[in-house]
Structure 1
Amino acid sequence: MRKFLTITGLCLTLAACATNPVSGRREMALMSEAQEISIGRDMHPKVLQQYGQYDDPALQAYVQGVGEKLAAHSHRSNLIYRFTVVDSTDINAFALPGGYIYITRGLLAYLGSEAEMAGVLGHEIGHVTARHAVRQYTAATAAQLGMTLGSIFVPGLGSNVGQNVMGVLGQAMLSGYGREHELESDGLGAEYLARAGYDPQAILGVLRTLKAQGDYAAAQAKAEGRQPQSYHGLFASHPDEDTRLKEVLTKASFLAPDKPADNGRDAFLKHIDGMVFGDSAAQGIRRGNRFYHRDLNFALEFPPGWRLENRPDRLLAIAPGGKAQAQLSSQDLNQRETPREFMIRRLGIKNPAGEEISPAGLPGYTASLKIQGRPGRVSVIFHRNQAYVLASVALDGADSQAVDAAMRQTALGFHPLREDEKALAEPLRLRLKTAAAGDSFAALAKGSRLPGDAQAQLRLLNGHYPQGEPKPGDILKIVE
């Protein structure tokens, strides 16, 4: 009671309380709805800059339409929601304050129906309607500032506050909002699904799909000695082990029509037919230890066994066992200078002692040096008004001389795309196939362009991981 009176007193004193749209309760909130919308509006272009919007207007319109149908039944139907498919291979979805919601094409590839997609979108709408970003920011700020009157009062969103909000939201996008908030979003998403005419049990289908994908990713990561990456939040939990989740789905089922609409599998598959799978041409294509970029017109090859990670702003290369790392990034060329002069002026490397190189006739310079006290190498290559910077470092347990020699060779192998490589710079795409009698995933894998364990990936895409075979007449997702 004392705590309640204290918080209530603070709310009255600071005018920092608001009514939660979902619960109807008064609670402390250090951000108004107008500020919340402003944060989402300001961050939206940054999200698109980092990930890129997937270039398929028909798919974007389809996702927007399904999202709007759900949002119309939400606790904050007054907001204008924007649903965006981002051009990322990540298995993820996330929301910004004010109604900005994102789903990756990487996640769409593994879903099996419109109802499952609606389950993901409904979950993210729940984060917006329950103001989870605001509540998490408020809690983090209150804890940090010790609940003192002078510190809690926030008349506006200054630069420091905006940076704090960015930090809270960034963490939430990566790891979720915490179990209680995730469960609340599951319940809200299930409610919105039911009211929109979908079966809320579709959420269990999403969970099973993502659990299977997570199991596969974990096995692959373990074999490669790295941490797995998977969808954030409670959706990563196994549904059979979560009684509370089942309870919220059961509760929502009473809101559904007696006969929920078709789960929309055919419509969903139609819209993802032809969708890029894996790397896109705009981001560059990984083929084992080789990298091809169609739009920037270059290719290069890393040492055998090195694993490539394609980030929005750079390409990472990691040696087996993590004993060495390299990254390739680019910067605009703005004045006429040599690669060595660029290395000194733009990279801040004083007196680099190295050598001029000319991979495929391109101007370049490479030098061995120390990077944070470790043996490394930096190479700069000019191509099409861009300076490509390849930086590498040998870590604990590595043969630093061997790593250095390999990275020099990688720099020397940088070249414009050859005619025979242009097809390798084009992305893989999802296609639909009707299963015939005798079809198996093993047989389909033999003709697939999927790298690695193609059979396991085809099972994942079609909801049959780790076992199971297609039946005649099944519409299958394949990759070509």
Structure 2
Amino acid sequence: MTLSNQPKFRHAATLAAIVLLAGCTEQLRKAGIDENSLKAAGAVATSMSKSEATPAEESQIGQASASILLGAAPLVQDREIQTYVNQLGGLLARQTGRKDINWRFGVINSSNVNAFAAPDGYVFITKGLLRTVNDEAELAGVLAHEIAHVVKRHYLIAMRKKDTTGALTNLAATSAKTAGVKGSELAADPLANVAQNMYSSGLDKGDEYEADRLGVVYATRAGYDPYGLPRVLNLYATKAGSNGFELLFSTHPSPQDRLAELDKAMGDKLTAYEARSVSDSKAFQQIRNKAGRVPDPRR
């Protein structure tokens, strides 16, 4: 049974809506609503009115979102590939100044060329992307772009905007009423639907442009060629309509638009970093070649 079908939850959520509208609880007491129900409704109302999720709620949303991504294709079963990407991702994540995020990076066994992130520090790239980028600076630029989405909570905010079923409100209410109790099974289905809708439609253009700008900054701070991400965008521009790139182009602004926005932001400000930055490594080329030999998952 999903959250929306729980009679007790519907009662608390209805009370919460009344609390939000009324601004007080005295009339509810006069109507015979008991004190425990009022406290629960008050907690739900507080959660419903918050602009941001609590860490526990964000963790639950992140898990549901990551499950959607891994449900489409599993992780590559290769420890060396996964360790390499986690080490590179960790280096880039440290440039954000955020020490409160539990970062987790993974390579999905899909030949499509794409990258994804989810709330609470999940970042995934596809096997197809890993074997398509040319050097480590390009991979760093893509990972840094996805890291920026997490730091700025773009996916979480997008899910709130696209949540027409109240799944995130339901999650907040459940968390308020059952503090310390795991509710992932209870909220899995409605959360999965919200996440699926968000990944199918993609983020706003403004979010993508902001992640591009911050991605360049994070990669440069880590010592990588600042033009790694622009080179990837230029590669995308040449691959429009190519096999494996379809999903990427359906959920992102055009690479030409992203390049134009990055050019406005970067100008020649980062040119001095280019000469003394890292563009490639032997480790990257080994991992890239290894990813090219990974078979697609069995259907």
Asked if Structure 1 and Structure 2 have the same fold, meaning a TM-score greater than 0.5 normalized by the shorter chain, the answer is yes
* Residues in 2 aligned to 1:47 and 1:234: alpha-carbon distance in whole angstroms: 14
Q: Work out which of the residue numbers 193, 202, 205 in structure 2 matches 1:167.
A: 193
> Deviations along 1:407-426, whole A, 9 cap, x unmatched?
xxxxxxxxxxxxxxxxxxxx
* Residues in 1 aligned to 2:66 and 2:216: alpha-carbon distance in whole angstroms: 26
Aligned residue in 1 for 2:240: 214
Give the conservation status (yes or no) of the 8 Å contact 1:190–1:248: no
Give the conservation status (yes or no) of the 8 Å contact 2:96–2:218: yes
**AA aligned opposite 1:202:** G
Q: CA deviation at 1:85?
A: 0.6
Q: What pairs with 1:366-385 in structure 2 (closer than 5 Å)? A: none
Question: Does residue 1:271 correspond to 2:287, yes or no?
Answer: yes
Unpaired segments ≥5 residues, structure 2 = 1-22, 24-44, 176-182
Q: CA deviation at 1:139?
A: 2.3
**AA aligned opposite 1:79:** I
Question: Does residue 1:105 correspond to 2:116, yes or no?
Answer: no
**AA aligned opposite 1:205:** R
* Residues in 2 aligned to 1:217 and 1:277: alpha-carbon distance in whole angstroms: 18
Q: CA deviation at 1:112?
A: 0.5
Unpaired segments ≥5 residues, structure 1 = 1-8, 19-27, 146-150, 219-227, 284-311, 313-480
Q: Work out which of the residue numbers 69, 72, 79 in structure 1 matches 2:101.
A: 79
Please identify which structure carries the higher helix content. Answer: 2
SS in 1 for 2:264: helix
**AA aligned opposite 2:100:** N
Cα separation, partners in 2 of 1:184 and 1:130, compared to 1, 3 Å: same
Aligned residue in 1 for 2:31: none
* Residues in 1 aligned to 2:73 and 2:226: alpha-carbon distance in whole angstroms: 30
Give the conservation status (yes or no) of the 8 Å contact 1:97–1:131: yes
Q: Work out which of the residue numbers 202, 220, 239 in structure 2 matches 1:176.
A: 202
Aligned residue in 1 for 2:174: 156
Aligned residue in 2 for 1:14: 46
* Residues in 1 aligned to 2:228 and 2:89: alpha-carbon distance in whole angstroms: 15
SS in 1 for 2:58: helix
Q: CA deviation at 1:164?
A: 4.1
Aligned residue in 2 for 1:383: none
Q: CA deviation at 1:79?
A: 1.2
Aligned residue in 2 for 1:244: 261
Structure having greater relative contact order (Cα 8 Å, sep ≥ 6)? 2
Q: What pairs with 1:72-471 in structure 2 (closer than 5 Å)? A: 72-141=94-163, 154-156=172-174, 162-217=188-243, 229-232=246-249, 237-239=254-256, 242-250=259-267, 253=270, 257=273, 259-276=275-292, 280=296, 282-283=297-298
Q: CA deviation at 1:36?
A: 0.9
* Residues in 2 aligned to 1:248 and 1:238: alpha-carbon distance in whole angstroms: 15
Q: Work out which of the residue numbers 64, 81, 97 in structure 1 matches 2:86.
A: 64
Aligned residue in 1 for 2:76: 54
* Residues in 1 aligned to 2:240 and 2:99: alpha-carbon distance in whole angstroms: 33
Q: CA deviation at 1:155?
A: 2.5
SS in 2 for 1:156: helix
Aligned residue in 1 for 2:13: none
- Structure showing greater radius of gyration is 1
* Residues in 2 aligned to 1:259 and 1:183: alpha-carbon distance in whole angstroms: 25
* Residues in 2 aligned to 1:15 and 1:167: alpha-carbon distance in whole angstroms: 21
Cα separation, partners in 2 of 1:210 and 1:259, compared to 1, 3 Å: same
SS in 2 for 1:275: helix
Q: Which stretch shifts more, 124-133 or 231-240?
A: 231-240
Cα separation, partners in 2 of 1:34 and 1:100, compared to 1, 3 Å: same
Aligned residue in 2 for 1:444: none
User: What is the percent sequence identity of the aligned residues?
Assistant: 28
Q: CA deviation at 1:250?
A: 4.1
SS in 2 for 1:77: coil
**AA aligned opposite 1:118:** A
**AA aligned opposite 2:288:** I
> Deviations along 1:423-467, whole A, 9 cap, x unmatched?
xxxxxxxxxxxxxxxxxxxxxxxxxxxxxxxxxxxxxxxxxxxxx
**AA aligned opposite 2:228:** A
Give the conservation status (yes or no) of the 8 Å contact 2:47–2:172: no
Aligned residue in 2 for 1:293: none
- Give the length in aligned residue pairs: 246
SS in 2 for 1:185: helix
Give the conservation status (yes or no) of the 8 Å contact 1:186–1:248: no
Give the conservation status (yes or no) of the 8 Å contact 1:183–1:245: yes
* Residues in 1 aligned to 2:250 and 2:282: alpha-carbon distance in whole angstroms: 28
Please identify which structure carries the higher strand content. Answer: 1
SS in 2 for 1:189: helix
